[in-house]
Homo-oligomer: A and B are copies of this chain.
Amino acid sequence: MPTPPKAVVLLSGGLDSTTTLAIARQEQYAVYALSFRYGQRHQHEILAAQRIAAALGAERHLILDVDMRQIGGSALTSELAVPKHDSADEIGSQIPITYVPARNTVFLSLALAWAEALPAGDIFIGVNALDYSGYPDCRPEFIAAFEQMANLALKMAVEGTTPIRIHTPLIQWTKAQIIRRGLELGVDYGLTTSCYDPDPAGLACGHCDACLLRLRGFAECGQRDPAAYQ
């Protein structure tokens, strides 16, 4: 039996990245899960990522520290209030203050570094251009430009031994499609956490953009969200 190819999978502990990890496993990759302590308010994301990496059979799970709090500019890494709504229909089309400057660029760059050290030519990221929150670094044109840059940045890519491919299996899916695919693959969404503003016990608020998009996705599938809400 040939050795399975290695893939680095960005794993936040949320619904999208968990489904992405399940897809990479389904595609027979040996998964190297990568999470970040980047100064987010809630450490429960890291705990969720650890449970998910173990449950879905990752070969390794690396948790990197990169302190984006010192940089500022986002509600997710500061004391700014996270916006709340009563329904997903109220979410505006403007980029909200939960945007973290250059976050996917920073995370993908560190994924490149690990990919070259492994080595692995495949990187999976669960970005989504439809049911997203208007973040520019979730769009296909950003991913294509990043992949092009990566193939000029890495020794293994420039020398032609291992080119980089960025996989974004969810990029054109609705939240409901993502959930449906994950359930087919046996994902336990009770392990995942999406909330931008959970309480100290880790219970989701149910009213931030991430909670509302997630709840609407489950409703559209006719499924109950197994996450714990306040």
Main SS class of interface, A: helix
Q: Which of B65, B114, B136, B145 contacts A66 (CB 8 A)?
A: B65
* Distance to closest chain B CB from A155 (angstroms): 5
Binary flags per residue of A126-141, CB closer than 8 Å to B gives 1, else 0: 0000000001110101
Question: Which residues of the partner chain B approach A113 to less than 8 Å between Cβ atoms?
Answer: 68, 71, 73, 100-103, 105-106
Verify if A109 is at the interface (C-beta below 8 Å from B).
Answer: yes
Provide the A118-158 mask, 1 if CB < 8 A to any CB of B, else 0.
Answer: 00000000000000000111010110011011101111011
Write the nearest CB–CB distance from A69 to chain B, whole angstroms: 10
Q: Are A64 and B64 in contact (CB under 8 A)?
A: no
Return the contact of A117 from the options B62, B71, B117 (Cβ within 8 A).
B71
Which of B72, B102, B159 is within 8 Å of A153, CB to CB?
B102
Contact A67 B65 (CB under 8 A): yes
Q: Do A149 and B152 touch (CB < 8 A)?
A: no
A-side interface residues toward B, CB under 8 Å?
Answer: 62, 64-68, 70-73, 95, 99-106, 108-110, 112-117, 135-137, 139, 141-142, 145-146, 148-150, 152-155, 157-159
Give the 3 A-B residue pairs with the shortest CB-CB distance, closest first: A73-B117, A101-B116, A102-B113
